[in-house]
Amino acid sequence: MKLYSIIQSKTAGLQGGSMRRSKKNKGRGIKTLVAGMAFMVLALCASAQEEAVDSLEGTKVVLDEVLVQSIRITKDFPITFSDLDKVELAPRNLGQDIPILMNFMPAVVTTSDAGAGIGYTSMRVRGSDATRINVTINGIPYNDAESHGSFWVNMPDFASSTQSLQLQRGVGTSTNGSGAFGASLNVLTDAFSEEAYAKISSSVGSFSTLRSNVKFSTGLINEHFEFSGRLSRVTSDGYVDRASSELESYFLQGTYKDDNTLIKALLFGGHEITYQAWNGITADQLEDDRTYNSAGEYTDDNGAARYYENEVDNYKQDHFQLHWYETWNPAWNTHLAVHYTRGRGFFEQYRDDDDFATYGLEPFTVNGELVENTDLIRRRWLDNDFYGTVFSATYTSENFEFIIGGGYNEYKGDHFGEIIWAEYAHNTEIRDRYYDDNSTKTDLNFYTKANYQLTDQWSLFGDVQYRGVGYRANGEDTGLVDDTFNFFNPKAGVTFDLNRNNNFYFSYARANREPNRNDYESGSPKPEKLNDFELGWRYVSPSFQLNTNVYYMRYKDQLVLTGGLNDVGAPLRSNVGDSYRLGLEIDANVNLSSAFKWRPNIALSDNRNLDYFFERDAELQDLGNTNIAFSPKLIAGNMITYQPNTNFQVSLLSKFVGKQYMGNIDSGTSVLDSYTQTDFNIQYTIEMNSFIKSIELSGLVNNIFDADIVSNGYFYTFDDDFSNPGTITTVEEAFYYPQAGINFLLGATVNF
């Protein structure tokens, strides 16, 4: 029996799915923690017994999982991955976004602009930001086609409609959408329910946070049809001044199933109005006024500081998906999906004393004085459509699995700006557009994958993908762009089952990736290339499961974060030539007793730009090998859970993130200090034999030790030739995004 077939499907971090063949926080404390974790892992590994888990639950195929079968992987594959399902998400799902709920997964670092996990949130995996993490929802691409980012604020409370998610670290297996350069995340939405249900959930917390939702399912009607849905509303003032969020979302699903067919139609989306908190704060403000927010600040005619009340981001996004899965015979099944996403919205800004030239306006004379500047309010719009199809066919025999798939997607985006008010509005009309750009992107991909069981112990994996990308744009920021990219991405690997407990794998993957829209602001960016090598060992026994892997990711022309932002708050990147990431990752699941579970993970890495050059004080300097921005050398997570019965559990969760640089020149000004975050989570279920089936009570205390955490920021340099005439001096500036101190969320769910 293969190792992965004896893993229970609810084992977090080792969940394998089906087998189809049958500042305050530094010092010695963290060193002691890491050493203790390593010692306990080794000790448990040495003492664990080689016997099989009794349950074979992990071999069962959940019907809805076929929608992601072509891009998800199991222990059959030589790929590094972790799973997280709705049972594990539920105790902490009190309104925060999916990246925050993933915070304790291996090699993951999360952050929130508003400081409390609601509103604009993001994550990094192995030091790679959201633009390098491929995200799919039921196999449909979610990353924005132009920016490559994933904006979870557009789908608030989406965790409440998530059945499970899988995070593949590294290149992973071929998927749809933009290429994975740090990780790929596949989200599977709610499965259909055979039984009818309804539930009402509400949670309250710090910073006037309130989350409410209702969910329902009809159950199977006539054994074939099911309809379900969710409505949610989340509001919060945020930790940072005025960083409020008003978020609404919906999720509707219709399902038809019989013995060989599954058809699902989904309609979901959201509307977010978020007060901007993109500017960050200086080091002095970090010490004296951590919640300061400069967004919307202006000076009135009396010289007093004021704040514009509608300095908001206002965006709506709706998604439609139609999936058809068919089993034709015991060997063949197919999946075909079509999708359409409609997005539209703007962010609004008060601009104090802006230059007419910025808006194509001509100066004019008032009372004999030339007027060249004005206070104004502007909106910068994005109106876009994204549509396409994805498909796959799977052949399965006793020793062989073969998948062929692909997709075609097209994006059309309109970018335009409006002046909705101006102090001096000479010869202008309301809603005048001061820029009006458009862009188009096409993405065609085909892939084939095969996994062959060579012997009882050895299996071989191969994966080849072709991806063709066309991008056209005419923005003032991008210039005229008409680029075509053709990428060939091979992957191969081998898996060796030493015995029923030990499994080893090695894989190689090649990835190519096109620049995003913001990269064109820096000139003519090159596509980036990656060779990813993964070597792993998995161990399973009844009381102890272990994943450990070593990776080497070698980049050519990697587009790394410079630490700076453009004028709309988007991170800037540049090609850096050769660079690499080398790391070790370990995560485990330990049953200390029938009631206590321990789940530690640790990620050690070295992330380097090779022979990095930088122009300082008007001289080009060779800085040698420098650290890649936003790539801590050490990330450690820990979760201890006490669960004496199925109705009650208490968890203590901790996360350590080591020192990281916000730029690539190893400047002390660009350092983000290490930090430790510790959360406390409790859940209690009251069973009831009445119209109300049960009541679930949850509590979450974030950052219980009130640590001063700064999880993100930006850093940039500029040349100053005014302070000392005749000389050029390079000036460095850094800005930070502080996170909330101790804060809480309390929730209740009533199940009918």
Q: Tell me how far apart the alpha carbons of residues 481 and 486 are, in angstroms, rounded to a whole number.
A: 16
pLDDT value of residue 73: 84
Structural domains in the chain (count):
1
Which H or E run includes 286?
A: helix 283-288
> Which candidate, 305, 308, 302, 279, places its Cα nearest to that of 292?
279
pLDDT, position 565: 62
Q: What is the pLDDT of residue 47?
A: 37
DSSP per residue, 326-361:
EE-SSSEEEEEEEEEEEEEEEEEEEEEEEEGGGGTP
Bridge-partner residues for 341, per DSSP?
319, 386
CATH number at residue 62: 2.40.170.20
Residue corresponding to tokens 């977090």:
12
Amino acid at 52: A
Domain ranges, residue 586: 3-751
The DSSP call for residue 192 is: P
Report the relative pairing of strands 332-355 and 373-396 from DSSP bridges.
Answer: antiparallel
Residue type, 250: Y
Q: Quick one: which H or E segment has residue 250?
A: strand 245-257
Looking at residue 642, its pLDDT comes to: 97
pLDDT at 191: 92
Is the distance from CB of 528 to CB of 556 less than 8 angstroms?
A: yes
Spatial distance between the Cα atoms of 502 and 223, rounded to a whole number of angstroms: 42
Please tell me the predicted confidence (pLDDT) of residue 316.
Answer: 97
β pairing state of 571-575 and 578-591: unpaired
Question: Which of 147, 151, 183 shows the shortest CA–CA distance to 515?
Answer: 147
Distance CA 391, CA 444 (A): 12
Beta-ladder partners of 401: 396, 451
Specify the pTM.
0.88
- DSSP β-bridge partners for residue 530: 511, 555
| Mean pLDDT, the chain cut into blocks of 10 residues (752 residues total) | 32 32 38 39 38 31 73 88 94 95 96 95 94 93 93 95 95 86 93 94 97 96 95 97 97 94 96 95 95 93 91 97 95 96 96 89 86 92 96 94 96 94 82 90 96 94 96 87 94 95 95 88 83 96 95 88 59 77 96 95 96 82 91 97 95 97 93 97 94 95 97 88 73 94 97 94
Q: For residue 241, which of 148, 155, 305 has the smallest C-alpha distance?
A: 305
